[in-house]
């Protein structure tokens, strides 16, 4: 049988955005592989995405529209036709929109990172409707803000060059699980003699393979970075020329760092002062004394606590202090998505808002639980009457899950969910609409971890009656009577609109060329800030930010303690002495893939890693079922007694589908809806708990 190979892109929320080759035989995708020619993908896919066909052809795929028949949350549906489904949706949305369009809320995130199946036709639809706006903060908002006030945007070094770095600091990230292709390059750097350091409260798969692991308590990274600065300044390990030419506010920063002598910083972080001395000496000696490249790979793990924005800001100052930007293999990367010249105005058409340029209210997606349950107050405004969920699974991924589920259980809420599967959120839908996967639709991708644009050509026809998100919103728009020309754009039209053709960074790249080639690199300088040129108002790396001062924030990076910790809330910490984090499991992608049996089998069941001392104090033995709890909820998991978790820390790798866990819950049962210092992001890893053996608990009850 003839096989064809289609050029595609991995759709998932991961910095690697791989170039994929999909082999199709007789209309069926039989294999997905990494493109061997793509300089980042290098022919390798992660275990999850290598199993993408298993997900696409999974027997549980939603293949017809469905209507709820049982109670909310019970997940009982009957099949209906597309006509019936779209009529029902349009009738309900029209009725609400006639009274109060803001009572309708879209809820979406990064189920696909595609610019077409993400916020294009969907955004046009909700803008035309005048629906509430959604602040899409659930992942990176704090870090994005930290970078914006320091560098002027989500900009940084290109990890394609990290092989040549001499010192690599992996700060709050676990690239073996979440950034595999950059890890492969870091391994190459290691072979060439680079020193690798991990800064992570948990001895992750990555941390155990680094030369040194520093384990601060969660949410304390700003103190660590300020301690490092203190030493660099104290010991004169600075690139004075770079500081003078390309930074703003050094004198003020010097004063700020003076308040963080190593002993003090170390106490805040719960580590030894010697760790901070060692780290500062490594950075200073490599970058300043030897003039060699120092690369810092920051990831989002460290910005999921109260002070997340300031933590990123503090760390982002380090490469400028030592002139690490002078090398292509030096500097810092959290995200480089800001380099991509995307035409958001055309894709999303904000101007379609009936009130334009006045905006409807904005709901922060992190606080969806409270927004659904606390209607009508000053913070949330009018009651939300309808939610349309696509590319997201809020009942599993949003914090304080008990409240999120209670919100979606409201009898007077009309919920539409566009999905591949009957997720925890889909169980609460009134109307469940089957969406296509990446193998079945067109898309175009920018990335946040490298500088390549990618095309996704469809490899197979849609399964069953599944439709692309775009087509669902297109047909809904027609039924709502929206007749602007943009609602007739095909997916290819939208893909062709995505890049700003006039931008020199896209020279030679357009949809036509991309479709054929699969991927093309933006035209960027190899070392983006070697000669300054930051995107801030001053054009410099802003140690001191006038914009932050104007907004009433501390203009200098500072240590903002966690909401929940022994020094910020001693009383709470006596009741709940352990800090819980719930970072990504290697075989899941957020809550995606949890229902793929082979991948779930590798993760086993929900675990909680706990240090032997903390376990002994609670009579917890390895393999025991434990109960984890705080004032927000309770959760069960199987204990793994291990020094991977530092003392005082427990770790539950995530994000499990609640209904696939024995107790129907996941880590978000315990997390809070509070927001970060900058960017209004979530604080998933700012969460005190206690743990007891499950059986003892049953006896006590």
DSSP for 112-161, written as a single string: ---TTTTTTHHHHHHHHHTPPEEE--TTTHHHHHHHHHHHSSS----GGG
Nearer to ligand MGD, 155 or 649 (CB): 649
Q: Among ligand MGD, Mo ion, none, what does residue 302 contact (CB within 5–8 Å per kind)?
A: ligand MGD
Q: What is the per-residue DSSP string for 36-58?
A: TTSTTTTT---HHHHTHHHHHT-
Partner whose binding site includes residue 392, from ligand MGD, Mo ion, none (CB under 5 to 8 Å by kind): ligand MGD
Q: What angle do the packed helices 262-269 and 221-234 form, to 10 degrees?
A: 170
Instruction: Rule CB under 6 A: say whether 106 interacts with ligand MGD.
Output: no
Q: Rule CB under 6 A: which of 288-347 touch ligand MGD?
A: 299-302, 305
CB atoms within 10 A of CB 25: 12
Residue 469 touches ligand MGD, criterion: CB under 6 A: yes
- Alpha carbons 283 and 447: distance in angstroms, whole number: 28
- Please list every residue from 173 through 212 that binds ligand MGD, using CB under 6 A: 173-174, 177-178, 199-202, 204
Phi, psi of 18 (to 5 degrees): -75, 150
Nearest partner of 694 among 600, 612, 629, judged by Cα:
629
Q: Which is nearer to ligand MGD, 214 or 514 (CB)?
A: 214
Can residue 447 be called a binding residue for ligand MGD (CB under 6 A)?
no
For ligand MGD, the binding residue among 334, 363, 384, 667 (CB under 6 A) is 667
Q: What are phi and psi of 9, to 5 degrees?
A: -135, 140
Minimum CB separation from ligand MGD for residue 319, in Å?
A: 17
Neighbours of 362 (CB within 10 A): 12
Nearer to ligand MGD, 52 or 390 (CB): 390
Question: Which one of Mo ion, ligand MGD, none is in contact with 390 (Cβ closer than 5 to 8 A by kind)?
Answer: ligand MGD
Pairing assessment for the beta strands 19-25 and 3-9 based on DSSP bridges: antiparallel
Q: Does 491 bind ligand MGD (CB under 6 A)?
A: no
CA–CA separation, 213 and 199 (whole Å): 6
From the number of C-beta atoms within 10 Å of its C-beta (0-12, 13-18, 19+), residue 281 rates as middle
Task: Figure out which of the listed residues 7, 230, 420, 607 binds ligand MGD, where binding follows CB under 6 A.
Answer: 420
Among 163, 239, 419, 430, binds ligand MGD (CB under 6 A): 419
Q: Which is nearer to ligand MGD, 223 or 413 (CB)?
A: 223
Residues 129, 138, 322, 409: which binds ligand MGD (CB under 6 A)? 138
Is residue 603 within 8 A of residue 638, CB to CB? The reply is no
Determine if 366 is a binding residue for Mo ion (CB under 5 A).
Answer: no
| Residue 637 contacts residue 604 (beta carbons within 8 Å) | no
From ligand MGD, Mo ion, none, which one binds at residue 423 (CB under 5 to 8 Å depending on kind)? ligand MGD
- Reference 109, options 137, 131, 88, 72; nearest CA is 137
Select 16 or 239, whichever has its Cβ closest to Mo ion: 16
Number of residues that bind ligand MGD (CB under 6 A): 58
Q: Which is nearer to ligand MGD, 189 or 199 (CB)?
A: 199
> Contact with ligand MGD (CB under 6 A): which of 671, 672, 673, 676?
671
Specify the 3-state DSSP secondary structure of 698.
helix
Nearest to ligand MGD of 372, 589 (CB atom): 589
Query: Using an 8 Å Cβ cutoff, are 221 and 515 in contact?
Result: no
Residue 333 to residue 449: CA distance in whole angstroms: 8
Told to check if 139 binds Mo ion by CB under 5 A, we report: yes
Which one of 250, 421, 487, 543 is in contact with ligand MGD (CB under 6 A)?
Answer: 421
Q: What is the DSSP letter of 136?
A: -
Query: Of Mo ion, ligand MGD, none, which one does residue 684 interact with (CB within 5 to 8 Å by kind)?
Result: ligand MGD
- Of 353 and 678, nearer to ligand MGD (C-beta) is 678
Around Cβ 567, how many Cβ atoms within 10 Å?
Answer: 11
Q: How far is residue 68's CA from residue 615's CA, in Å, rounded to a whole number? A: 45
Confirm or reject binding of residue 75 to ligand MGD (CB under 6 A). no
Q: Is 648 in the site for ligand MGD (CB under 6 A)?
A: no
User: What does the angle CA 71 – CA 75 – CA 76 come to, to the nearest 5 degrees?
Assistant: 70
**Edge-to-edge strand order for the sheet containing 66-68?**
77-79, 66-68, 431-434, 414-419, 386-390, 104-108
Rounded to whole angstroms, how far apart are CA atoms 554 and 557?
Answer: 7
Interior CA angle at 21 toward 19 and 25, to 5°?
160
**Smallest distance from Mo ion to CB 178, Å:** 9
- 428 contacts ligand MGD (rule: CB under 6 A): no
What is the number of the residue whose Cβ is closest to Mo ion?
139
Is residue 262 part of the contact set for ligand MGD (CB under 6 A)? no
Q: Which option in Mo ion, ligand MGD, none does residue 171 bind, with CB closer than 5 to 8 A by kind?
A: ligand MGD
Which of 456, 545, 590, 630 contacts ligand MGD by CB under 6 A?
Answer: 590
Query: 340-379: which residues touch ligand MGD (CB under 6 A)?
Result: none
Which is closer to ligand MGD, CB of 150 or CB of 591? 591
Output 154 or 415, the one with its CB closest to Mo ion. Answer: 154
- Residues 531-570: x/- map of binding to ligand MGD (CB under 6 A)? ----------------------------------------
Q: Are strands 649-651 and 607-610 parallel, antiparallel or unpaired?
A: antiparallel
Answer yes or no whether residue 581 interacts with ligand MGD by CB under 6 A: yes
Please list every residue from 216 through 255 that binds ligand MGD, using CB under 6 A.
Answer: 218-219, 221
Residue 80 contacts residue 65 (beta carbons within 8 Å): yes
Out of ligand MGD, Mo ion, none, which partner does residue 668 contact, by CB within 5 to 8 A per kind?
ligand MGD
Question: Can you tell me which residue has the tokens 């998505």?
Answer: 337
Pick from 381, 557, 584, 681: which binds ligand MGD (CB under 6 A)?
584
Separation between Cα atoms, residue 60 and residue 660, nearest integer Å: 14
Is residue 111 a contact point for ligand MGD (CB under 6 A)? yes
Indicate which of Mo ion, ligand MGD, none lies near residue 173 (CB less than 5 to 8 Å, by partner kind). ligand MGD
Which of 21, 645 has the CB closer to ligand MGD?
Answer: 645
Alpha-carbon Rg for the chain, nearest whole angstrom, is 25
**Contacting residue, 17, 348, 392, 673, with ligand MGD by CB under 6 A:** 392
DSSP string, 208-271: GGSSEEE-PPTT-HHHHHHHHHHHHHHTT-S-HHHHHHHEE-HHHHHHHHHT--HHHHHHHHTS
Is the Cβ–Cβ distance between 168 and 189 less than 8 Å? yes
SS3 of residue 391 by DSSP: coil
Binding site for Mo ion (CB under 5 A): 139
The residue ranges that bind ligand MGD (CB under 6 A) are 13-14, 109-112, 117, 138-139, 171-174, 177-178, 199-202, 204, 218-219, 221, 299-302, 305, 390-393, 396-397, 418-421, 423, 435, 469, 581-584, 586, 588-592, 654-655, 667-668, 671, 684-685
């Amino acid at each position: 049988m003839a096989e064809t190979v289609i050029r595609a892109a991995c759709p998932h929320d991961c910095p690697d955005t791989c170039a994929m080759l999909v082999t199709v035989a007789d209309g069926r995708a039989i294999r997905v592989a990494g493109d061997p020619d793509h300089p980042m993908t290098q022919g390798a896919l992660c275990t999850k995405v290598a199993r993408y066909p298993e997900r696409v052809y999974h027997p549980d795929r939603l293949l017809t529209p469905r209507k709820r028949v049982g109670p909310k949350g019970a997940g009982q549906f009957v099949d209906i036709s597309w006509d019936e489904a779209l009529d029902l949706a349009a009738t309900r949305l029209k009725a609400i929109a006639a009274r109060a369009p803001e009572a309708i809320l879209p809820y979406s995130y990064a189920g696909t990172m595609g610019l077409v199946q993400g916020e294009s036709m969907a955004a046009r639809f909700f803008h035309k409707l005048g629906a509430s706006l959604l602040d899409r903060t659930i992942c990176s908002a704090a870090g994005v803000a930290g970078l914006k006030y320091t560098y002027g945007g989500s900009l940084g070094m290109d990890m394609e060059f990290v092989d040549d770095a001499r010192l690599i600091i992996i700060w709050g990230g676990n690239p073996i699980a979440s950034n595999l292709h950059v890890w492969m390059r870091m391994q190459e750097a290691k072979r060439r003699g680079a020193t690798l350091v991990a800064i992570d409260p948990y001895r992750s798969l990555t941390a155990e393979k680094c030369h040194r692991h520093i384990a601060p308590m969660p949410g304390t990274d700003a103190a660590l970075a300020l301690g490092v600065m203190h030493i660099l300044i104290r010991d004169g390990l600075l690139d004075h020329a770079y500081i003078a030419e390309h930074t703003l506010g050094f004198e003020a920063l010097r004063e700020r760092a003076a308040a963080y002598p190593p002993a003090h910083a170390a106490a805040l972080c719960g580590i030894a002062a010697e760790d901070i001395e060692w780290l500062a000496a490594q950075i200073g000696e490599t970058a300043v004394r030897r003039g060699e490249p120092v690369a810092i790979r920051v990831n989002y793990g460290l910005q999921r606590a109260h002070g997340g924005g300031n933590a990123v800001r503090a760390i982002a100052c380090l490469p400028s202090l030592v002139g690490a930007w002078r090398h292509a293999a030096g500097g810092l990367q959290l995200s480089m998505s800001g380099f991509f010249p995307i035409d958001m105005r055309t894709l999303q058409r904000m101007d379609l808002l009936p009130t334009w340029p006045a905006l409807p209210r904005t709901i922060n997606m992190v606080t969806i639980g409270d927004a659904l349950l606390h209607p009508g107050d000053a913070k949330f405004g009018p009651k939300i009457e309808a939610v349309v969920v696509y590319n997201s699974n809020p009942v599993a991924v949003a914090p304080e899950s008990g409240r999120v589920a209670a919100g979606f259980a409201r009898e007077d809420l009309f919920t539409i969910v566009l999905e591949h599967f009957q997720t925890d959120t889909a169980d609460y839908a009134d109307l469940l609409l089957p969406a296509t996967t990446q193998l079945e639709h067109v898309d175009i991708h920018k990335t946040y971890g490298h500088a390549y644009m990618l095309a996704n050509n469809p490899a197979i026809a849609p399964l069953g009656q599944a439709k692309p998100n775009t087509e669902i919103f297109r047909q809904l728009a027609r039924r709502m009577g929206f007749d602007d020309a943009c609602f007739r754009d095909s997916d290819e039209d939208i893909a062709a609109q995505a890049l700003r053709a006039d931008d020199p960074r896209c020279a030679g790249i357009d949809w036509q060329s991309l479709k054929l080639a699969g991927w093309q690199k933006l035209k960027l300088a190899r070392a983006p800030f070697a000669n300054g040129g930051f995107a801030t108002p001053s054009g410099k790396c802003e140690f001191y930010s006038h914009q932050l001062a104007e907004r009433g924030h501390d203009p200098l990076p500072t240590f903002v303690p966690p909401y929940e910790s022994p020094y910020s809330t001693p009383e709470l910490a006596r009741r709940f002495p352990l800090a819980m984090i719930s970072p990504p499991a290697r075989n899941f992608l957020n809550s995606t893939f949890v229902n793929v049996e082979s991948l779930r089998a590798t993760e086993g069941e929900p675990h909680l890693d706990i240090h032997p001392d903390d376990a002994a104090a609670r009579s917890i033995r390895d393999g025991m079922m434990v109960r984890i709890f705080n004032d927000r909820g309770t959760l069960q998991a199987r204990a793994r007694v291990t020094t991977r978790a530092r003392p005082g820390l427990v770790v539950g790798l995530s994000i499990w589908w609640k209904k696939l866990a024995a107790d129907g819950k996941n880590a978000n049962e315990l997390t809070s809806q509070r927001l970060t210092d900058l960017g209004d992001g979530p604080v998933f890893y700012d969460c005190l708990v206690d743990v007891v053996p499950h059986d003892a608990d049953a006896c006590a009850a």
